[in-house]
Structure 1
Amino acid sequence: MASSSSSINMIPHTKYDVFLSFREDEISPSLSSAIEGSKISIVIFSEGYASSRWCLNELVKILEIKNKYGQIVVPVFYRVDPSDVRNQTGTFGDSFSELEERFKEKIDMLQTWRIAMREAANLSGFDSHSIR
C-alpha cells in the first residue's frame, strides 16, 4: 500500500482530488491539465461513450497519467457490461462501430482507443448492473 500512495504523490502539481470523465467536449489544455493534476480519475462508461472520439482521447490521456504517475483510475460501467467495454461488443460495441466507420482511415488511432478501453475495463470498478 505504501508504494501506491507514494506514487500518487509523484503526480506533478496535484490540484484536485478527483477528475470525473464522462461524455464531454474536446480535450482542451485546461482539461488536460485537470486530468494531470488529479489524484483520482473516475471514468463513466455508458452506451454512447464509445461513439465520442473526445471521450476516447480523454481516456487515453487518463491512462497515460495512470501509467506514468500512478494516478488511481476507477471505471464505472453505467448500463454497460465491463466485458462489452473490454471487447467492444453489445450496444457499447455498436457505438464504437459508428465511430470506427467515421475514422476508418485512422487505424493507429482506432487501435489506441481499443487498447485503452480494454485496459480500463480490466481495472477494478463499479458495475451498475450489480450495484444499486
Structure 2
Amino acid sequence: MAFNSSIQCSPSSHEMIKKYDVFVSFRGKDTRNNFTDHFFAALHRKGILAFRDDTKLNKGQRILSNLMQAIEGSQIFVVVFSKNYASSTWCLRELQKILDFVNVSRKHVLPVFYDVDPSEVRKQTGDYEKAMSKHEEKSREDKEKMEEVKRWRGALTQVANLAGWDMRNK
C-alpha cells in the first residue's frame, strides 16, 4: 500500500507532536454512549492516555492537521467497527490514514467488532456492502474518488484480517 506523504513529519515538527498511548477510531452514533465511553473510562483509570477525536479537538482547530498529529503521536490504534462505521466517510478516511501510518511505522492495530460480524467487515457484506456501494455510487463520475473507495475496501479487509476482539452479544 502506498504511503501518503502528508503524514510524514520533519524532526522539528515531530518533537511537537503530542504523544498518546492509544488512538481510538469509532463511529460516535453507534458506540459513543456505551462501549467507547466505558473503554475510554477504563483506559483513563489505568493511566493510559487515549486520543478521542470527539473531545480532544477544539472548535476552529485545523481538524485534519491535528488528527494527523494525533495519529503520528500514538503508539497503538484501536478501531471499533460497528454497524454504521463504513457509512461514515470520516471514519473510512481516518482508517486509511491510520493504516498508511501503521504500514510504515510498524505500530499495531487492534480491531474491535462491536455488534458486527468480523467477516461482514472483512468481506464487506450486509451493512458494510450497503455502505460501500453508496460510496461507490456517489463517486461513480470521479475516478479519484473511486480509487479512494477502493483503498477503503482494502483497508477494511486488511484491518479485519488482524486478530481482534469480537464484542457481539457481550
TM category (shorter chain) comes to 0.7 to 0.9
Deviation at 1:78, TM superposition (A): 0.8
Deviation at 1:14, TM superposition (A): 6.6
Give secondary structure in 2 for the equivalent of 1:40: strand
**4+ aligned runs moved over 4 Å, structure 1:** 24-27
In structure 2, the partner of 1:81 is: 117
After superposing the two structures, state which structure 1 stretch, 15-24 or 31-40, moved more.
15-24
Which structure is larger by alpha-carbon Rg, 1 or 2?
2
Deviation at 1:126, TM superposition (A): 0.7
Label 1:27 to 1:79 Cα distance change in 2 as closer, same or farther (>3 A): farther
Overall identity of the aligned pairs, in %? 49
Deviation at 1:115, TM superposition (A): 0.6
1: CA distance between counterparts of 2:63 and 2:100?
14
Of 156, 159, 169 in structure 2, the residue corresponding to residue 117 of structure 1 is 156
Deviation at 1:23, TM superposition (A): 2.4
Give secondary structure in 2 for the equivalent of 1:42: strand
In structure 1, the partner of 2:72 is: 36
After superposing the two structures, state which structure 1 stretch, 102-111 or 82-91, moved more.
102-111
Length, aligned pairs only? 120
> TM-score, length-normalised on structure 1?
0.81
User: Which consecutive residues of structure 2, in runs of 5 or more, have no partner in the other structure?
Assistant: 1-13, 29-52, 54-61
1: CA distance between counterparts of 2:18 and 2:161?
26
Letter in 1 for 2:160: A
After superposing the two structures, state which structure 1 stretch, 116-125 or 20-29, moved more.
20-29
User: Which consecutive residues of structure 1, in runs of 5 or more, have no partner in the other structure?
Assistant: 1-11
Give secondary structure in 2 for the equivalent of 1:115: helix
Deviation at 1:97, TM superposition (A): 1.9
In structure 2, the partner of 1:5 is: none
CA contact (8 A) 1:50 1:99 kept: no
CA contact (8 A) 2:25 2:80 kept: yes
> TM-score, length-normalised on structure 2?
0.64
Q: RMSD in angstroms over aligned alpha carbons? A: 2.1
1:58 aligns with 2:58: no
1:126 aligns with 2:130: no
